[in-house]
């Protein structure tokens, strides 16, 4: 749980710090043994995605770019789903992140 939340929050905080709006929305809900996580944040509009896989936009690529990969691995291990959407100004990990508690 720590790896999951720390990666998601660190990414969201870092991305929103680099915008004028600096918006971060976090929602955690437990229902019938499931944990639903929703994180939406502002970002600078730069996405490095190829075939559904996200790559770091940070300069030091050797030490970055593992966060979402770790999140995906954890979610899949717990039979959850991960839904990532974005627009020009918002990046969102949807409420569809589900983990059996």
Instruction: Tell which residue, 40, 47, 46, has the closest CA to residue 96.
Output: 40
What are the tens digits of pLDDT across the range 1-36? 888 889 899 889 988 998 999 999 999 988 877 888
Whole-structure pTM value: 0.81
Q: Quickly state the pLDDT bin for 79 (edges 50, 70, 90).
A: confident
CA dihedral 96, 55, 46, 44 (to 10 degrees): 70
């Amino acid at each position: 749980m720590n790896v999951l939340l720390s990666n998601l929050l660190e990414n969201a905080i870092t991305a929103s710090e680099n915008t004028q709006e600096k918006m971060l929305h976090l929602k955690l809900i437990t229902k019938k043994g499931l944990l639903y996580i929703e994180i939406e944040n502002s970002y600078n509009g730069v996405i490095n995605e190829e075939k559904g896989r996200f790559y770091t936009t940070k300069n030091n690529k050797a030490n970055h770019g593992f966060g979402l990969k770790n999140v995906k691995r954890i979610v899949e291990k717990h039979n959850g789903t991960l839904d990532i959407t974005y627009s020009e100004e918002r990046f969102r990990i949807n409420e569809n992140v589900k983990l059996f508690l």
